[in-house]
Amino acid sequence: MPVKITMEDLKQKLAGPQYKLTPQRKIVLQIFLDRPSQHLSAEDVHFILKEQKCEIGLATVYRSLELLSDLNILNYLDFGDGCRRYELNDASPNEHQHHHLICVECGKVLEFTDDLLGNLEEKIEDTCKFKIVDHQLKFFGYCEDCQKKRELKS
């Protein structure tokens, strides 16, 4: 079950001698807090910043996203289309992330939260002597809207 993340939680993750919650990082994080279920690229974040009249360069956005991903504040996502996307990491510790349903027609991404792979993980761990700590699962297909459009064309 996703947990509600606040800016204060994120400040604590960035607390330490190596990292600071710079004004730029705070603004980038706020974009994800305001859009908790969206999967945003660096270009998406930069576009939102420009709409908000924030003068943060694209290179700064990229660096911020990489750092926040390295710190597990954001999850890096690859949906197979060559575009790196990020989402807020809202899973409780020791809990699996949600899965993604990706429409190959319009690119819409839906989230699926049920974790049905527990038995498979146990079998893999027993058979391969491999301790699984997490997994990602992506399904590619057609969303409901695109299915309807395809039916109308036929």
CATH numbers and ranges of domains, the chain:
1-95 (1.10.10.10), 96-154 (3.30.1490.190)
The pLDDT of residue 6 is 72
- Whether 56 and 24 have beta carbons less than 8 Å apart is answered as yes
The pLDDT of residue 92 is 59
The pLDDT of residue 56 is 94
Low-confidence ranges of the chain (pLDDT < 70): 1-5, 9-10, 13-17, 91-97
What is the pTM (predicted TM-score) of this model?
A: 0.68
Task: State whether residue 35 is helix, strand or coil.
Answer: coil
- Whether 33 and 76 have beta carbons less than 8 Å apart is answered as no
The pLDDT of residue 1 is 43
Residue by residue, DSSP assigns 67-121 as HHHHTTSEEEEE-SSS-EEEEE--PPTT-PPPEEEEETTT--EEEE-----HHHH
Task: State whether residue 15 is helix, strand or coil.
Answer: coil
